[in-house]
Amino acid sequence: MSPSAVASAPVTVEVLQPAAAEDAQRRVAGALAVAGLRAGDRVAFSLGSSAALLVCVLGALRSGIIPVLLNAMLLPAERDLLIADAEPALVVGDAAGLERLLQGPAGELAEVPLGRPIHYTSGTTGRPKGVWSGVLSEEQARRQFDDEADLWGFDAADTHLVCSPMYHSVSVRFASGTLLRGGRLVILSRFEAGVALRALRDHRPTTTFMAPTALQRLLHQRDLPERFESLRLLVHAGSPCPPAVKRAAMARVRPGALWEFYGSTEGQFTVCSPEEWLQRPGTVGRARPGRRLHVDDRGVIWCRPPDFARFSYWHDPEATATAWDDGAFTVGDLGRLDDDGYLFIDGRRDDLVISGGVNVYPAEVEAALTEVRGVRAVAVFGLPHPDWGQEVCAAVVGAASEEELRAQARRMLAPHKRPKRYFTVADLPRTTTGKVQRTVLADAVAADAVRDSRRR
């Protein structure tokens, strides 16, 4: 299915019961074994969210086979580059491929997933990197599973509403924790606020995760109930949550239900209860159990995780070496710790735009736009947006027209990576070493926009 077909398809709502999910996972394990896949092999999935995708992912993980979860909205060229990098033994890109896995003979399963999926995250070079955690021993796998499931208290009484796409790591973590503790799932094929609201009313989930942009869209729906009484837990993460949105969400759930965490594709750093946030507005909480945080003299945040949470970047030892130091890792975010160990994020990586909870790396977008004839230089950055958190923008030095730039973006980039606004500038602000100062650029563009509006 093409990216445009995925985006325009009607949203589906599926209910997945634990017993049916267990049977399906056994068949997937059997099908993978018949196909010759063994522990440590990889199977790539490029599909939208569904119950079938989830049980195929879990059937693989509980066999020690590592799923590679790709955004179904990627253009074919983008997807093919990641598939070539991951070197999977099997690629599943349509519903028929999922169905073949679900028709396998019953196979053997470990009690819990024996690893984490590979999710791709870009770096400052614009080259996507796969986060690889390998195959865990059964003891490590149990500790990894309990680390997540115990933190959120998943159990057989839970119904978890899956709103986020499954190429986001949190979706599989929360869904597998619920299912394997005996709970059931309600799965949206993609987030749509009206459908999510109906699911909350009709299925009365006890837990869910929403990125702040999704949460904001939900709260803008008409006919919201006074309170979502069924929810014992509503978690958000992925981008900064505006305080007004957070307080509005708190007013719609039970006291103590709205939590957040700070993490990344690579690993989890903190957890924050609503009481802690109210006492220290702006904090993202303290270190999760089993982890230690520190901030170096540059303001960079580091996390020392348990041994089962270590990772490397697939086929990229240099990036791996940069990310780790003396048992702690960083993703380059900046922050500060108060005297009680509460973390405050001072800024995400200055090369990163978070739009709708999805990471967009300027270097990748810039590489595509610089191929347009007449472009002498280009810098991509984010500007605040009321619905998306940030919108992707591009400042261009040269004679290329906006129409040419937009056409190139459509040819080369998935929709979420395409700049929404273009600005023609005489030059780009740079440091003495030649690095583009994206924050200075964004501030200058915003100031020019304010001056223009006043002149009108």
Give me the DSSP letters along 395-417.
EEEES--HHHHHHHHHHHS-GGG
pLDDT at 213: 86
pLDDT at 118: 98
Q: Are 207 and 174 in contact, with CB atoms under 8 Å apart? A: yes
Superfamily of domain 353-455: ANL, C-terminal domain (3.30.300.30)
> Is the C-alpha dihedral spanning 30, 189, 381, 395 positive or negative?
positive
pLDDT at 447: 77
For the chain, 456 residues long, give each residue's pLDDT as a single digit of tens.
566 566 678 999 999 999 999 999 999 999 999 999 999 999 999 999 999 999 999 999 999 999 999 999 999 999 999 999 999 999 999 999 999 999 999 999 999 999 999 999 864 455 789 999 999 999 999 999 999 999 999 999 999 999 999 999 999 999 999 999 999 999 999 999 999 999 999 999 999 999 988 999 999 999 999 999 999 999 999 888 888 899 999 999 999 999 999 999 999 999 999 999 999 999 999 999 999 999 999 899 999 999 999 999 999 999 999 999 999 999 999 899 999 999 999 866 667 888 888 888 888 899 899 889 999 889 999 999 988 889 999 999 999 999 999 999 999 999 999 999 999 999 999 875 567 888 889 888 877 754 554 455
Sequence-ordered list of residues with C-beta below 8 angstroms from that of 397, at least 6 positions apart, any chain:
375, 376, 377, 378, 424, 425, 426, 427, 428
pLDDT at 451: 57
Instruction: Say how far apart CA 186 and CA 102 lie, in whole Å.
Output: 19
| Residue 434 CA: distances (Å) to CA of 222, 428, 431 | 49, 10, 5
> What is 3-347's CATH topology?
Rossmann fold (3.40.50)
Long-range contacts of 57-60 (CB under 8 A, 24+ apart): 57/117, 57/166, 57/172, 58/21, 58/25, 58/28, 58/113, 58/172, 58/176, 58/179, 59/24, 59/25, 59/26, 59/27, 59/28, 59/29, 59/32, 59/101, 59/107, 59/109, 60/28, 60/29, 60/32
Q: Are 194 and 186 in contact, with CB atoms under 8 Å apart? A: no
pLDDT at 124: 46
Spell out the domain ranges in the chain: 3-347, 353-455
Beta strands in 84-151 (DSSP E): 90-92, 118-122, 128-132
pLDDT at 453: 46
